[in-house]
Amino acid sequence: MSKVNKVVLAYSGGLDTSVIVKWLQETYACEVVTFTADLGQGEEVEPARAKAEALGVKEIYIEDLREEFVRDYVYPMFRANAIYEGEYLLGTSIARPLIAKRLIDIANETGADAISHGATGKGNDQIRFELGAYALKPGVQVIAPWREWDLSSRESLLAYCDEHGIDVEKKKGKSPYSMDANLLHISYEGDILEDPWQEPEEDMWRWSVSPEAAPDQASYLELTFKQGDIVALNGEAMTPATVLETLNEIGGNNGIGRLDIVENRYVGMKSRGCYETPGGTIMLKAHRAIESITLDKEAAHLKDSVMPKYAELVYNGYWWSPERKALQALIDETQTYVNGVVRLKLYKGNVVVVGRQSEDTLFDESIATFEDDAGAYDQKDAEGFIKLSALRLRIAAGRGRDQG
């Protein structure tokens, strides 16, 4: 065990990380700095200060990172239309690089030689935190208590609290699910969800009504894009965090954004999780709609071809990797003319595109029309185009190759 003088802990103020503070102090005989981030999880973060002080922590960081989170992480990811394994909008994944960055920033500011987190040894988050930390400070020491201690259950953690005089809330009626929330989404794992055959209980969901209970009247919404990012809702300019917060409320009220998936974790196991991403679901639909009229065909297809790799990099924790940055540069270059307005209809869990317009549109009505195009497109040209496109197929067929 290397000597540690000071460690920066990603601290929520909950049971796990409160135990970790005391465990670090005892096991490593070191000073602990706590860092609590407000990423829009919907809970007060300031109470973490009093909890940390009660544990003897002298340096306490509590930061509102909502705007930075959406502007510098969520928005760039949505320019890529990133979805992992065809469904997951990467709500937990995209928050980890920012937390890792601030852990390292604070370590540098305070002279700490280590960082620590409360992620378990089974999940993806340990990888995301640590890959980010090593990318930003190669020599940093990372302490992951769940991979070192012999505390393996909530009961053992509570017993540790009793033994060491740690005051934690023992909430009655506490959710049986493991949850993680930020402005992009809220996730649920554990309890009955560990059986992939079991339908989630309705009272589990916190951000959205069920589609059946959503209003019978459709809601209409107009989103304004500038270089691939939403800058206004219904004509009203908004900051990135306000955009997402507003879309979460509107989408949740219309039963939008629920997801139930079994995903492949980076460590190899399959995991069943449920997610609510109302604002992100709306953003993705709208972004693809504005791209449909402003992006060149081959640029759009190239973006779609690299998207799965981009999403995998984010999911696996490689936000700070050179390959993600290279893909981001390509993606951002395509967004120069992704400007305009998308009109959506929200109805009982559905997001329907009903209009899109842009001064940078590539949609030419004079060419696309089924009416007289006044010579804008000579249909006779299509014959030669088709024959040239079919040349290799005709040659193979003429040599007797089976094309069936």
Residue 332 and residue 351 in contact, taking contact as beta carbons nearer than 8 Å? no
Contact present, 91 and 259 (Cβ < 8 Å): no
Q: Which residue has the tokens 């800058």?
A: 231
Residue 284 falls in which region: left (phi positive, over 0), alpha (psi -120 to 50) or beta: alpha
Distance CA 57, CA 116 (A): 15
Q: Is the dihedral of CA 289, 290, 296, 298 positive or negative?
A: negative
Nearest to 116, CA basis, from 156, 138, 97, 143: 143
DSSP per-residue letters across 9-52: EE--SSHHHHHHHHHHHHHS--EEEEEEEESS-SS--THHHHHH
Q: Of 120, 126, 279, 157, whose CA–CA distance to 208 is shortest?
A: 279
Catalytically active residues are: 16, 96, 125, 178
**3-class secondary-structure state, position 165:** coil
Distance of CA 376 to the CA centre of its chain: 44
Q: List all residues 6 or more positions away from 243 whose beta carbon is below 8 Å from its beta carbon.
A: 70, 230, 231, 233, 279
CB neighbour class for 83 (10 Å; exposed up to 12, middle 13-18, buried from 19) = middle
Which residues, other chains included, contact 297 with Cβ-Cβ below 8 Å and sequence gap of 6+? none
How big is the CA angle at 144 (ends 313 and 85), to the nearest 5 degrees? 25
